[in-house]
Structures are given as structure tokens and as C-alpha cells.
Amino acid sequence: MRAVRFLRENPCATLLAVQLGGVLLYPLMEDSVEGRSLLALFGLLVLAVALRAVRATPALLWVALLLAAPAVVLLVAQLVTGEQTIAIWAAVFEALLYFYAAGAMLRYMHADDVVTTDELFAIGAVFTLVAWAFAHTFVVVQALQPESFIAASMPTADRTWTELLFLSVTTLSSTGLSDIVPVRGHARSVVMLEQMAGLFYIAMVVTRLIGMRAARAAARHEMGR
């Protein structure tokens, strides 16, 4: 009950936990038709949790709902029909929603000078939201330009969701560990945008933490006079 209460009071922590759980579950879902249906179902869960997290921020919930509605319809259609091409259209709206949710959480973190427990989890949740958003963008780019991303093991095959998410996380974190390589123009453009987003985000978080620490130190100094 304590864990349930904690997750209920900290929606960003719930979102982060669900997405990190997805990292472990995705490889088990994409190798079969049934697994890909579960992948769509899990996508619906992530959308629901993301909307709940946006509700706790100063952002407009109706905008998030407007972006989520087409994604939900398309994911449900994928579940019912089993048609995997529908996932490409759903990826468009999922990417837009996750970008919007990431921006909402940035506003949430910068709304005041007090860092709550949920705002600490929002630091990680923003990172995962941006990584998921770019991964969905990669799905769309790959559909528009086949073979936009290659890998040493299977150069001509379409990259799976797990592979594209792996590329997104390694690009956003600037670790450069991915064996997935963008080879077409738009694929490289999107990857470059994600690299810049990762650098800007780290700079924003570090600057905020340093600024808040300096503010606390100044406040203690004034109280000590």
C-alpha cells in the first residue's frame, strides 16, 4: 500500500518506472504477431501514464488529450486488425505527445524554487520521454525512407522498435555505443537534432541544480548574519 500511495502521489515516478520496465519487456514482444499486439497494448499503457503525468504539470491537458486520441484509436485498430503498418501512423502522434509531455515536465520542474520528490523523478522522466519521442520519429523516418538506418548484422532489414529505441537512448545520452547507423539524409538530421537536445537538456538540469544550490547557500548566509 505504501508503494501504491507513493506512485499515486508521484506521477512522474510512475511514468519513469513504466518506461524503464518497457526497456526490459520490448525485446520479448517484437518477435511474434502476438508479441507485437502486446507491444501496442503496452503503448496504450504508456500513453495513459504520460497523460496522468501531464495532468500534474502547468501544461494544458486538453492539448495532450488531442494528441493522444488519434494514437489511442490507431493502437486499438492495430490490436483488433493485427495490421502492423498502422503502428507507423500511431508513431506520429505518440512522438508529438511525448515531446509535448517532456516540455510540460520541464515547465513543472522550473515552476518554483522547491524541488519535490516528484520533480526529481521528472528529471529522469523527461529524458525517457524525449528518447521515446525520437524513437517514434525514427519509426516514421524509416517508413518514409526505407533503409535509413543500417546495422552490421542485417544491413538491409528494417530496424526493430528496440533497435531504434537503443539508438535514441545512446544518441540522447551521448554515449555513442549504438551499432545502428543513420545513413540517409533525414535520418542523420533527426539524429543530429537529438544529439543537440541531449546536450541542451543536461546543461539545463545542471544549471538549475547549481542555481538552486547557490540560492540555498545565499539564504543560509543571510540567516546567519
pLDDT in tens, 131-146: 999 999 999 999 999 9
pLDDT over 90, % of the chain = 56
In which domain, by residue range, is 65 found? 2-224
From residue 11, alpha-carbon distances to 59, 87, 89 in Å are 15, 26, 27
CATH number of domain containing 190: 1.10.287.70
Residues 6+ apart with CB under 8 A from 21: none
Number of domains in the chain: 1
The reported pLDDT for the residue numbered 214 is: 66
Task: Read off φ and ψ for residue 179, nearest 5 degrees.
Answer: -95, 5
Count of Cβ atoms closer than 10 Å to residue 186 Cβ: 15
The reported pLDDT for the residue numbered 221 is: 65
The span from the CA of 29 to the CA of 33, in Å, is 9
pLDDT at 112 over 80: no
> pLDDT tens digits for 191-218?
999 999 999 998 888 777 767 766 666 6
> pLDDT tens digits for 52-102?
999 888 888 999 999 999 999 999 998 888 888 898 999 999 999 999 999
Q: According to the per-residue pLDDT averaged within each range, which of 7-16, 96-105, 107-116 is highest?
A: 96-105
pLDDT tier for residue 219 given thresholds of 50, 70 and 90: low
Asked if 135 contacts 172 with a C-beta cutoff of 8 angstroms, the reply is: no
